[in-house]
Amino acid sequence: MPSPRADRRLADQLRPITIEPNIAPYASGSVLIGFGLTRVICAATIEPKVPTWMRQQGVKGGWLTAEYSMLPYSTLDRKPRDIAKGKLDGRTVEIQRLIGRALRAVLDLDKLGTNTLWIDCDVLQADGGTRTAAITGAYLAARLAIQKLLDAKALAENPLTDSVAAVSAGICGGEAFLDLAYTEDRDAEVDANVVMTGRGHFVEVQSSGEESTFTHDQLQSLLGLAQKGLKELAAVQTAFLTKQLLKA
């Protein structure tokens, strides 16, 4: 039976995943990650200090913070920068907090030393799933940045305890699909974003009906699709890092 999806993908098929390393050479680690047409610049920068509140309260270890933005030309209609409007929109805040939580779930802050890991995710092209591509790429950027500290002997051991990746799934026209592109996301009755570690533990599951509701079985089918996709994404991440870290 022909695929009902605009790009002819199978229901459980990811978009093509592309990863370009060191896209921002002045960052400690960076990648340009693509989930199909969605492309996000993910950069990790290490600053050898921690926020003032940590110093004041004597909190040991390091910190990780994440920022997310869509470049004005990442969407079909120009999207003004948040700074031009004088405030972050709610969506931006929601997404950057999600990215921070995802990365902190696999980071031993004690082992990070008195360093702050800044994660910056900037969407170059948006076609759905920018937050999931951002998380998947941010882990890679963070791992590359940590390697610099390890190589410089500024860290004794890798503070990342596992990998982390994210993917979307949704129900369109009553059918469940993996990794929604923009037109699918726009028309979806149910939309889910799932964040998972390389060992297969959930970090976050967000699933919502868009003017619709969903059943237990539909939720199970979305989680099943996401888990399949996340296993594949973890394998792509491992292959990429093996190549990059061996080269160094």
Q: What is the contact surface with ligand UDP in residues (CB under 6 A)?
A: 75, 79, 91, 126-131, 182, 185
- In three-state secondary structure terms, 215 is coil
Nearest to 107 by CA among 157, 168, 49, 40: 157
* Residue (63 or 214) nearer to ligand UDP, CB: 214
Nearest to 181 by CA among 218, 126, 121: 126
- Smallest gap from Cβ 170 to ligand UDP, in A, equals 10
- Exposed e or buried b per residue across 47-74, where buried means at least 16 C-beta atoms within 10 angstroms of its C-beta: eeebeeebeeeeeebbbbbbbbbbbeeb
* Residue (13 or 147) nearer to ligand UDP, CB: 13
- Smallest gap from Cβ 238 to ligand UDP, in A, equals 24
- Smallest gap from Cβ 134 to ligand UDP, in A, equals 8
Q: Residue 159 phi/psi, 5° resolution?
A: -80, -10
- Smallest gap from Cβ 21 to ligand UDP, in A, equals 23
CB-CB contact of 117 with 64 (8 Å): yes
Question: Around Cβ 91, how many Cβ atoms within 10 Å?
Answer: 12
Rg from Cα positions in the chain: 18
Place of tokens 């050479």: 25
* Residue (139 or 182) nearer to ligand UDP, CB: 182
* Residue (62 or 128) nearer to ligand UDP, CB: 128
- Exposed e or buried b per residue across 31-43, where buried means at least 16 C-beta atoms within 10 angstroms of its C-beta: bbbbbbebbbbbb
- Whole-angstrom distance, CA of residue 83 vs CA of residue 112: 31
- Smallest gap from Cβ 11 to ligand UDP, in A, equals 18
Question: Around Cβ 23, how many Cβ atoms within 10 Å?
Answer: 18
- Smallest gap from Cβ 50 to ligand UDP, in A, equals 29
- Smallest gap from Cβ 210 to ligand UDP, in A, equals 10
* Residue (40 or 160) nearer to ligand UDP, CB: 40
Amino acid occupying residue 112: L
* Residue (168 or 244) nearer to ligand UDP, CB: 168
* Residue (94 or 151) nearer to ligand UDP, CB: 94
